[in-house]
Chain A
Amino acid sequence: MMDITSILYPVISIGGLGILFGAGLGYASKKFAVEVDERIPKVRDLLPGANCGGCGFAGCDAFAKAVVEGTVNPSGCSVNSKEAIEEIAAFMGLKVEQTEKKVAVVKCKGTCDKSTNKYEYYGITDCRDAALIPGGGAKGCSYGCLGLGSCKKVCPFGAIKIEDGIAVIDEEKCTACGNCVKACPKAVIELVPVSKQVRVLCNSLDKGKEVKESCSVGCIGCRMCVKVCEYGAMNFENNLAHVNYEKCTQCMACVKKCPTKAIHGEIISEEVNSSTQAS
């Protein structure tokens, strides 16, 4: 006959251990309980959840926590839709700070046919590595987009593609999280207001002659745009033109004047143009 103890002992010992550990954990969970603010998950649900880090926090969870704690305004998330931001603000009883939607722009038009190469590059397909090589990469212009796609790799929204040797940003998909700006070793990507269409698409600080040698669409520093601008919206610094977006009325005078077509601008119809000038 089977000994009853051979069943009893395992049941008692393992069961006892289980109860002991269970009780210990139960006690510990009371003792080490961490209070969580119940508003945090609700705010978190209204965030996009991409965890892109564009807001400067570790992720959407950390951002939600900061919103509840009041250290940051809901509009600090540039990725979120306007409606969701307003919903969070209403939920938290806050006012929304209006921020103009921005978009990332690659300040380089030097596609394969328009710019020269210093040498043939066969190496790691990453700009941050290529930029460390003497000369700062294969591109003739040492300020231009290398087109190896470091920005594409870090974009959480798939808004960047490499076309014809330079990075191209899809403005529809871009949420201005700024990851690509940080990733680019050439600092060729910049966040600009989405409504301003006049942009200098060149990053070169070289003198005109050197720019001409390496690229046919670079800013050669002729200052034509500065002279032609009636609103004083063009600044000139280190051989490169900059647009002052607050002053620019998008009259397109500089776009038409630029001899190398380094200033990009979509020609807006006359009607819109005149109304912006009137205001």
Chain B
Amino acid sequence: MELFILFLSAILVNNFVLSRFLGICPFLGVSKKVETAVGMGMAVTFVMTLASMISYMVYNWILVPFKIEYLYTIAFILVIASLVQFVEMVIQKVSPTLYQALGVYLPLITTNCAVLGVAVLNMNEGYNLIQSIVHGVGAALGFTLAIVLFAGIRERMENNNILTAFQGFPIALITAGLMSIAFLGFQGLL
């Protein structure tokens, strides 16, 4: 039950994009089409889950015993970067179609601060291995949910008559802000 609450809170209440404001770059950059947004969400989910697991292991089994916790940022980045590289290779071999669909967004996950964010949060909150993984999956699904919803809205906005001054990113940022306020409504859920 505790794990379920953790999972749900990571998706809705503490949504990484809309209430923690992490991973804004892909949120704005890859949200022009629902299709690519879904692909991005799936790739992030995969990387985030593995990253939260491996970074937990690296932190608790290597950094803590050596008493060099202050190196966590560089260690986590190392984990995430090599993980993304590995995922890219595997996908290219196993499913060229998916590789084509994801394109440049796959390597971009390396610089997605939401992935680093989930690793750092797991460490700060002192979650154990299972909790870390559940939190990672929840956060990733929350990211996917936010980016897909946002892409749906932006697809519709394409056909609207928007003031010249607001066209493009300004209106996207305003929309993201309104979505964030909407997600504030989940605050009372738990």
Contact = CB atoms under 8 A, between A and B. Distances in A.
Interface in B28-76: 58, 62-63, 66-68, 71, 74-75
B66 A9 contact: yes
Interface in B84-126: 85-86, 89-90, 92-94, 96, 100
B89 A32 contact: yes
B78 A32 contact: no
Contact of B92 (A21, A25, A32): A32
B103 to A, nearest CB: 11
B128 interface: no
B66 A13 contact: yes
A58 B100 contact: yes
A50 interface: no
B82 interface: yes
Contacts of A25: 82, 85-86, 89
B159 A17 contact: no
Contacts of B164: none
Main secondary structure of the interface of B (DSSP, over half): helix
A125 B158 CA distance: 11
A205 B160 CA distance: 31
Contact of A14 (B67, B78, B159): B78
Band of interface residues on A: 20 to 34
Nearest to B63: A13
Nearest to B87: A28
Contact of B89 (A22, A29, A129): A29
Given A24-B86, A25-B86, A129-B159, A17 B68 contact: no
Given A18-B78, A24-B82, A24-B86, A9 B159 contact: no
A125 B161 contact: yes
Given A17-B62, A28-B90, A58-B100, A9 B67 contact: yes
Nearest to B91: A32
Given A13-B66, A125-B161, A21 B78 contact: yes
A18 B94 CA distance: 26
A131 to B, nearest CB: 12
A133 interface: no
A33 B78 CA distance: 22
> Is the interface on chain B under 10, 10 to 19, 20 to 34, or 35 or more residues?
20 to 34
A278 interface: no
Contacts of B71: 10, 13-14
Given A10-B68, A13-B63, A13-B68, A28 B75 contact: no
Contact of A9 (B68, B79, B93, B94): B68
A124 B74 contact: no
Contacts of A124: 159-161
A4 interface: no
Given A32-B93, A129-B159, A17 B75 contact: yes
A157 B133 CA distance: 49
Interface string A55-71: 00010000000000000
Contact of B90 (A32, A125, A129): A32
Interface in A10-43: 10, 13-14, 17-18, 21-22, 24-25, 28-29, 32-34
A66 to B, nearest CB: 14
A64 to B, nearest CB: 14
B55 to A, nearest CB: 11
A14 B100 contact: no
Interface in B170-188: none
B92 A17 contact: no
Contacts of B160: 124
A104 to B, nearest CB: 23
12 contacts: A9-B67, A9-B68, A10-B66, A13-B63, A14-B71, A14-B78, A17-B79, A21-B78, A24-B86, A25-B82, A32-B90, A124-B160
Given A13-B63, A58-B100, A124-B159, 15 more contacts: A13-B62, A13-B66, A14-B78, A17-B78, A21-B78, A21-B79, A21-B82, A24-B82, A25-B82, A28-B86, A28-B90, A32-B89, A33-B93, A124-B161, A125-B161
Closest 3 CB pairs of A and B: A21-B82, A32-B93, A9-B66
